[in-house]
A and B are shown apart, each in its own frame.
Chain A
Amino acid sequence: MSAIAARARVGRARIGELTLARGLLLALVAAAALFVASELLSSFADLELAEGLYFFCVLAGLTVLTGLSGQISLGHGALMAVGAYGAALLIGEQHWALVPALAAATAITAVVGLLLGAAATRLRGPYLAGATLAFAVGLPALADKYSSTFGGENGLVVNPPNPPSGLGSSLPLERWEAWIAGAGAVIVLFTLHNLVRSGYGRAMRAVRDDEIAASLCGLRVARVQTLAFVVSAACAGLAGGLLTVVLQLASPGAFQLSLSLSLLTAIVLGGLGSLVGAAWGAAVLVLLPSWTRDIANSFSLSTKVSSNMPLAIYGLVLVVAMLAWPSGIQGGVRAGGARLRALVRSRRGG
């Protein structure tokens, strides 16, 4: 009897139900979609795509941290700065190749995340928010203090990445940048997709929901939370490295507190803990500033207004989303889908 049931279970475990295979499939589909999109888009849109892809990396890490393990971080903008400056120094000063430089930038940021995360495990809610806030406000000042290394206010400039000659000389630089950022985003997507569904992901959710119960089940709460922070920091570091490659510049002005708060807005908007939501959030972060600029131009508003419009919208979104719509765009889509399915089922039933 049980043998039959077991065989039935194996038979039912089709490719879609195996986490690793599913993750791989998802990554392949995402990569193919990105490739097609980058071929179709203009070079300006390719640049926006590249920006959206590095934002996706940091947002995916942040949404897993906040949504899955329940820790808030206002320091991810500063962690991006660590990755960005790491990549800029390795590529610009040490003349490392692209891939090892990005890997090293990711690793450096993961180490910083380990230090921050080890401290974070002892902090809860507002305390953690305050500590990471201090990190976000304080870190950019280091560029000024050690200006001979970090280039002060002007930051560090790196040369644009050269597309390999094998791809033909007609490949636009922006498309190549979008591919680089896309490779990073696909790696992040695959890693986090598996992490969320692994034992570690379950452990994180257990810790988030009830620390005492989780520790009674033998989970090491501090270790699980630190792991989440390190993974999330590594994603931020990769995003920072990609930002340096795409924009060819790492400067303190790009990593102010407002960046960290924008990242928080994007994951709240996308829905905490949702990787698809992170993609929504990344799209908003890239498209909103250019839309508001267009709108401001067509109403001939001053630059004072137009340059602050995105931040005002982020602020409003944070407040309104928390008051009215705490599960974000992706939560709304999911709820809409569930309602639709229920409707279809009731039609079929009746």
Chain B
Amino acid sequence: MTRFIDLTLNGISTGTVYAAVALALVLIWRSTRIVNFAQGGMLMFTTFIASAVINSGASYWVGFVVALLSGLVLGALVERLLIRRVAGAPPLNAVIVTLGLLILLEAVAGMIWGNTPRSFPPAFSIRGYDVGGTRVLFAPNDTFIVLVVIGVAALLGALFRGTALGLRMRASAFAPEVARLLGVRVGRMLTVGWALAALVGSLAGVLVAPSVFVGPNQFDPILVFGFTAAVLGGLDSPYGAAVGGVILGLALSYVSGYEGASLVTLAALVILLAVLMVRPGGLFSTTRERRV
């Protein structure tokens, strides 16, 4: 029973990270109808930058902020330089461009920092809390992870719902022509959307790095989990992404705890296929899927 509780707590902590990756994918899908397969590479790259900053002697928090800022810049650059040119082309082209960016970023990271995974410090202690004399699998660092993801999600929600910028961004995503006619600079809104999404992604990278280590290919599974979580909740729904992330985190934590860590990615594949077969729009979709 204690093992079950431990796995549940661990699942909540990793699930919030998956939720953050899913949120990054959902934000981009909503605005540009592109699944950003480069997200795994982008958050890997920004985490490497943070790691380099921390290794050069700066404090953890400097690295943390640098990661988020570099995510912001990287997201904007990717939208400006690449994505804008494939908008309107067949969807396969955008998929291939983001995949190309994924291996390009992985290769460049390998060139600069080498392919051997390196450790990454956690923000707070990873020694579990003592509850009634037993140590549970939930540490101050996990509290930090959960709180910071909830905080960022709340900020994004407030931005989209409560500010003029958020309104313009939503308008650009849902009705670009009308928004443009009303004077919204749709292109700029898309750039901002990509930058924000990449920021959320880079946050997830820094948060998950202590447990997966930092290496060019270390974040491939995280991308798969984020995508699965996003599909689980419905690619269109930010709330779905959050809930999907936590559900996936729990499910994978049980699989990892009871069946072994090497089956986790295949378990994610099974969950992904099951969701796509049974409810292709995701658990929380509001629109009915198109039927042919």
CB pair A258–B217 under 8 Å, yes or no, is: yes
Would you call A344 an interface residue if the criterion is a C-beta within 8 Å of the partner chain's C-beta atoms? no
Would you call B146 an interface residue if the criterion is a C-beta within 8 Å of the partner chain's C-beta atoms? no
**Cα separation A146 to B81 with both chains bound (whole Å):** 44
Chain A interface, >50% SS class:
helix
Residues of A bordering B, CB below 8 Å: 66, 70, 72, 74, 119, 122-123, 125-127, 129-131, 133-135, 137-139, 141-142, 144-145, 211-212, 215, 221, 256-258, 261-262, 264-265, 268, 304-305, 307-312, 314-319, 322-323, 326
Tell me whether A129 and B221 are in contact in the complex, defined as CB-CB below 8 angstroms, given that A141-B262, A308-B110, A314-B103 are known contacts.
no
Residues of chain B lying within 8 A (CB to CB) of residue A211 = 292
Of A135, A264, A307, A326, the residue contacting B93 (CB under 8 A) is A326
> Which residue of chain A is the closest to B222 with respect to CB atoms?
A137
**Cα separation A131 to B227 with both chains bound (whole Å):** 9
Contacts A/B (CB < 8 Å), 16 sampled: A70-B92, A125-B92, A127-B231, A127-B276, A129-B95, A138-B269, A257-B217, A258-B106, A304-B114, A308-B115, A311-B103, A315-B107, A317-B100, A319-B101, A322-B86, A323-B82
Would you call B104 an interface residue if the criterion is a C-beta within 8 Å of the partner chain's C-beta atoms? yes
B216-267 contacts to A (CB < 8 Å): 216-217, 220-221, 223-224, 227-228, 231, 260, 262-266
CB pair A319–B217 under 8 Å, yes or no, is: no
Tell me whether A133 and B37 are in contact in the complex, defined as CB-CB below 8 angstroms, given that A127-B231, A319-B97, A323-B97 are known contacts.
yes
Contacts beyond the supplied A308-B115, A311-B110, A322-B97: 12 A-B pairs with Cβ under 8 Å = A122-B280, A126-B35, A127-B280, A141-B265, A257-B220, A264-B96, A304-B114, A311-B106, A315-B101, A318-B103, A319-B104, A322-B100
Of B93, B106, B112, B224, the residue contacting A133 (CB under 8 A) is B224
CB pair A131–B272 under 8 Å, yes or no, is: yes
Q: Report the minimum CB–CB distance from B274 to chain A (whole Å).
A: 10
Residues of B bordering A, CB below 8 Å: 34-35, 37, 82, 85-86, 89, 91-93, 95-97, 99-108, 110-112, 114-115, 216-217, 220-221, 223-224, 227-228, 231, 260, 262-266, 268-269, 272-273, 276-277, 280, 292
Residues of chain A lying within 8 A (CB to CB) of residue B34 = 126
CB pair A316–B92 under 8 Å, yes or no, is: no
Of A212, A215, A304, the residue contacting B110 (CB under 8 A) is A304
Q: Report the minimum CB–CB distance from A5 to chain B (whole Å).
A: 41
Tell me whether A137 and B100 are in contact in the complex, defined as CB-CB below 8 angstroms, given that A122-B277, A131-B273, A307-B110 are known contacts.
no
> Which residue of chain A is the closest to B267 with respect to CB atoms?
A138
CB pair A131–B35 under 8 Å, yes or no, is: no
**Cα separation A141 to B260 with both chains bound (whole Å):** 11
Tell me whether A315 and B103 are in contact in the complex, defined as CB-CB below 8 angstroms, given that A131-B269, A134-B269 are known contacts.
yes
Tell me whether A316 and B262 are in contact in the complex, defined as CB-CB below 8 angstroms, given that A211-B292, A323-B82, A326-B93 are known contacts.
no
Q: Report the minimum CB–CB distance from A305 to chain B (whole Å).
A: 5
Residues of chain B lying within 8 A (CB to CB) of residue A318 = 96-97, 99-100, 103-104
Q: Report the minimum CB–CB distance from B37 to chain A (whole Å).
A: 7
**Cα separation A304 to B292 with both chains bound (whole Å):** 49
**9 nearest CB pairs, A to B:** A318-B100, A315-B104, A138-B265, A312-B107, A311-B107, A126-B35, A308-B110, A134-B269, A138-B266
